[in-house]
Structure 1
């Protein structure tokens, strides 16, 4: 009765209350542990699913057979001739090696190839300094110009692989709408469009806008080609080919500059691309420090070729003249012999 009056618990009641509180605490702890265990298991499961998804994606991409390359780029380069018209060629089939185009370097036009990455600052500077001049020389038929796109700066665009995507756009246009490919190349390397190295570069939609401003029609096929990055493997193989196996189509005995820009690569080894822009003129590397401006070098090579052909023509004329003189002498001699006989 005293406990009821004072409102205090007896010793047994306090003991019972303590046991009950301990029981409740144990149950709460068990529930908390169970909840954490379920969350952990769920997180692990989600992590496994995510890893499996990535693995499946990588496997799917690696197992996906490489499709044919773009039309008009069998050598790896898009080649432009007089009036900026593309030199047509069949698509490079999977497993087929790139082959250098057949050229006659004993006569005009000169054979010029430029190796580019559309994020490469040096490539942009080269195009901005020489693009209009090259456009004029190609248009007039004095040179053919090969544009060889690569993607060695893919890691310099914060994961967007801009070099591959821009080169893929160029390849898509060469494949589908080659008449505007020359203008697109100039635009992608212009100061107004080319992104700085280390940035994300243009989005696919922005690249398509540049293609449109160069004259391309944004057809469903072109949009899909850009979305799928259809020629990504082709562009990667382009770079692998010249950086490992060596540059195709060099003149016999030609040696490219090594990484120091001064010494030559080993004569008995593959002549690899080690820096850009790499410019090849009639099978020989042009280097501004060594050879002067590109235009002066082109005029020099052209002049030497014309002089050689002129000397050859003069020699033929001299030989023809000598032959005529010999024929005339023989005829005169025969006539004199006939008179004596009479």
Structure 2
């Protein structure tokens, strides 16, 4: 079968031919239908995010069960499924506290598509407990969005239901900023602004017809000052850019009692400068968000199902473009240029 493999030692991403995997005990083999390229994948190939030395990428994917291994219950061949690529070890302090995303033995240290072979291939072998059947309302392409949506749902849970009259700012209009926008709208929020330097991405937010403003960060900066922060500042800021200068600048735009959600993945060694006095005097909350502990079920059964016929119906409006696996270099190039919000491989 064909697969997109990252070789860190050789510093090469390439299309390779590898054997089709077989299902061992407790595993299923998924015939992959759709696999998304995540911003984390770009960080991996830029050596800004840890991964196995040699691995088939792809932690966002959907498909059909091709083979079922011994000991697997609840699935049949032909089932339409998506995959939660993360799991804890189940035996450590973090797992006992339902913090599997912080597991020192599992979590991000064993993620499918990062540390174990993933879904950018014709077939992928997956432990059955990490597989979720798709409701009839959710298509296979939408199923490949369930993993990023489950991470956003984790962020939403950490945000803890802000009031509906909140002024909200989203930093960045890549696919994560786009999906955050649709979820805020889905949940009833109407006073939302998206900050994005690229005109094409701003136009994409406008094309969603959510009624949200999409503005250049310089425009925001020109209209906000310490003197008018009560009127022009924000109750919630969600960073989807992972760009430290943007994060540092936006932090001063928080109103009293506001929350800053750090969702975007920054390179590990990057730093920002913020004022401790501002955190103290405004009683600000800074919220991190690491992957998707226990949010996949609610995503598949609730969020994706509820949004499938509306916000997730037209992929072109979301800025998602389909590619063949052999077109991986062009897919990554268009993604890096910001010509699309997301590249997805269609098998």
User: TM-score w.r.t. structure 1 length?
Assistant: 0.22
Q: Greater helix share, 1 or 2?
A: 1
Q: Greater strand share, 1 or 2?
A: 2
User: TM-score w.r.t. structure 2 length?
Assistant: 0.22
